[in-house]
Structure 1
Amino acid sequence: MSDTEGADTGTDGGTSSGAGAPTRLHQLFEGRRLTPTQRRIAHCLVRRTAAAPFLSSVELAQLAGVSQPSVTRFAVALGFDGYPALRRHLRDVVPVGPAVDTRPANPYQQAVRAEVDNLLQLASLLADPGPVEDAARLLAASRPLPVLGLRASAAQARGFAYFAAKVHPDVRLLDEGGSLLADRIDAARRAGASALLCFALPRHPAELLAALDHARNAGLTVVTIADGTFAPVAAHSDLLLPAAVGTGLVFDTVSAPMLLGQVLLEAMCDGMPDAQARLEEFDARAAARGLFVD
């Protein structure tokens, strides 16, 4: 089964790789304008990092749900003579890791294990905290701070905006599309905004790309949390932070992007001298109002 809103045909297995391997795979796809079919192949390789160097083109095509010629075209799009050359490259950049878990598992367990693998992949990417810290500085300095997320990404944008508002003086949630979206971006820019945070998870609405282009043309620096550096929004963002989504269930699972949002917010708090004071003020107000029962 697949859902037209949140699901993308994916693989059912997880990855098991050495530290740094996901980073090198993402670097292989960075800056590439991949077709939707090619992005599915890239997702499959990232999620099956340990097995990727040993898959035949036919096996990879079956796992990604595409044709064998599509795998060949994918390798050529990455600059290789063909799939064998790509596979040799993968054997050079992907270290041999622990054996893949072969214990019997039902589909629900497989989905959970795949999500755990996504979190481990995120941990590997965060070995270099530079991109997150750079993004945090940009967002913390923006007054106001617009946070954008449409359709399947609206929940992540709303959750981030809720917590960010406790430490940032002016957070503006943009979770509805339509003709007013550009107006709201312009209003934030006129009010002094210098950066915009976007959550962009599959599937990616066409109007989201237009909104990001509008924001950049208006002078905003766009920071995007997306499902990979090969996502369609990569070319429309100034700084992209990747976090894989799970595709083993009818609807995508987004534990890694949600956690990355919280990591980003943590980094923002580290760079905001008044963050702790704002949290204490909120707690005092909440206690005076009897807002919480615990």
Structure 2
Amino acid sequence: MENNNTDLMRMIQTKFSRLSKGQKLIAEYILKHYDKAAFMTAAKLGASVGVSESTVVRFANQLGYEGYPELQKALQELIKNKLTTAQRIELSNDFIIPNNALKGVLKSDIENIRATMEKINYEAFESTVNSILNSKKIYIVGLRSSAALADFLGFYLNLILDNVKIVSYGMSDIFEQMLTLGEGDCVIGIGFPRYAMRTVETLNYAKSRGADVVAITDSVLSPLATKADYVLIAESNMASFVDSLVAPLSVINALIIAVGLKEKDKISKTFTELEQVWQEYQIYSYKTNKDINKF
């Protein structure tokens, strides 16, 4: 079903009078507690209002969805950019058992990887690789929690190419760092809920200057996606105060490797020279445990 998620709550209100008694209980709960309902299974939502799991499924069908997972996804799209950090902490207490946080987080990350494999546009991925290779200059912008992803992508692309710039907060404004941006350049914007407004503004600026725009984000409904020529979707869902960046990092790893494979001879030479520098200036430890135990 193609629903505008911003109209979901209004649709529930409109159809309320036609719902069964049990379905009305579900509707009332969602209208009041949609932030929690978005991360509940059908069974848990049913138990919370005193109805069966099958009643929850029929409620989703009544709204026009093929099943409950589709309704749940619509709820998540509706609220994930609106949750405050305090609300995320409250949700994490409900959906991640404190004594088993490791298992809960790992399972969530596995699901994010699986969903990313299903949703990512492989043509957009190849187009992004070609844009990176053919651009005069590549700008990478990712702010707040996405800064780690931007730094990682920039670090490795800088080892492969010589025209990469990581744009970040500093002495000069972001737009000042992109003053010469224009046609033939590429801007890669990275952002996940809650989306940093400065990243969105940067992509809008890049679009106005005629540059190729790539968005690495969580949904085609993301404000970054609406500004982009190529959108790479990576799931980041987690009912917690910490963003799940596992799937986005995996997509970024794939980008780096894909670019590297097309510049294989160049990076082979680069890493040979780097290895000499690393050894000469003792950047890494080359001693084994056996060597250390001698002292």
TM-score (norm 2): 0.63
1:145 partner amino acid: I
1:172 partner amino acid: K
One of 238, 241, 252 as aligned partner of 2:243: 252
User: What percent of counterpart residues are identical?
Assistant: 16
Per-residue deviation, residues 32-61 of structure 1 (Å, max 9, x unmatched): 7x65x97xxxxxxxxxxxxxxxxx766876
Alpha-carbon distance, 1:85 to partner: 5.5
One of 39, 59, 66 as aligned partner of 1:88: 66
Give the structure 2 partner of residue 279 of structure 1.
Answer: 271
Aligned in 2, Cα 1:248/1:89: closer, same or farther, shift over 3 Å? closer
Aligned in 2, Cα 1:217/1:177: closer, same or farther, shift over 3 Å? farther
8 Å CA contact 1:182–1:211 kept in 2: the answer is yes
Query: Distance between the aligned counterparts of 2:134 and 2:275, measured in 1?
Result: 24
Query: Distance between the aligned counterparts of 2:128 and 2:274, measured in 1?
Result: 25
- 1:205 aligns to 2:196 (yes or no): yes
- 1:234 aligns to 2:212 (yes or no): no
2:200 partner amino acid: L
2:275 partner amino acid: D
Stretches of structure 1 lacking an aligned partner (at least 5 in a row): 1-24, 39-55, 68-81, 93-103
Aligned in 2, Cα 1:217/1:110: closer, same or farther, shift over 3 Å? same
Per-residue deviation, residues 139-163 of structure 1 (Å, max 9, x unmatched): 1222321111112211110111111
8 Å CA contact 1:166–1:282 kept in 2: the answer is no
- 1:161 aligns to 2:161 (yes or no): no
What are the residue-to-residue correspondences of 1:104-119 with 2, within 5 Å? 106-107=97-98, 108=101, 109-119=103-113
8 Å CA contact 1:145–1:172 kept in 2: the answer is yes
Give the structure 1 partner of residue 215 of structure 2.
Answer: 224
Alpha-carbon distance, 1:239 to partner: 0.9
1:243 partner amino acid: A
Per-residue deviation, residues 106-135 of structure 1 (Å, max 9, x unmatched): 251323211111011223345x63221111
Query: Distance between the aligned counterparts of 2:107 and 2:131, measured in 1?
Result: 34
Give the structure 1 partner of residue 285 of structure 2.
Answer: 293
- 1:121 aligns to 2:115 (yes or no): yes
Query: Distance between the aligned counterparts of 1:279 and 1:199, measured in 2?
Result: 27
Q: How many residues align?
A: 219
Aligned in 2, Cα 1:86/1:168: closer, same or farther, shift over 3 Å? farther
Aligned in 2, Cα 1:177/1:201: closer, same or farther, shift over 3 Å? farther
Give the structure 2 partner of residue 214 of structure 1.
Answer: 205
Aligned in 2, Cα 1:86/1:268: closer, same or farther, shift over 3 Å? farther
Give the structure 2 partner of residue 98 of structure 1.
Answer: none
Query: Distance between the aligned counterparts of 1:266 and 1:147, measured in 2?
Result: 17
8 Å CA contact 1:195–1:220 kept in 2: the answer is yes
More helix by share: 2
Aligned in 2, Cα 1:169/1:237: closer, same or farther, shift over 3 Å? same
Q: CA RMSD in A?
A: 3.3
Per-residue deviation, residues 66-113 of structure 1 (Å, max 9, x unmatched): 79xxxxxxxxxxxxxx96353138899xxxxxxxxxxx9725132321
Query: Distance between the aligned counterparts of 1:255 and 1:119, measured in 2?
Result: 7
- 1:184 aligns to 2:177 (yes or no): yes
TM-score (norm 1): 0.64
> Aligned to 1:166, what secondary structure does the other structure show?
helix
Alpha-carbon distance, 1:178 to partner: 9.1
8 Å CA contact 1:145–1:193 kept in 2: the answer is no
> Aligned to 1:250, what secondary structure does the other structure show?
coil
Q: With CA pairs under 8 Å and 6+ residues apart, which has the higher RCO, 1 or 2?
A: 1
Query: Distance between the aligned counterparts of 2:187 and 2:147, measured in 1?
Result: 15
- 1:130 aligns to 2:108 (yes or no): no
Query: Distance between the aligned counterparts of 2:169 and 2:188, measured in 1?
Result: 15
8 Å CA contact 2:190–2:199 kept in 1: the answer is no
Aligned in 2, Cα 1:284/1:142: closer, same or farther, shift over 3 Å? farther
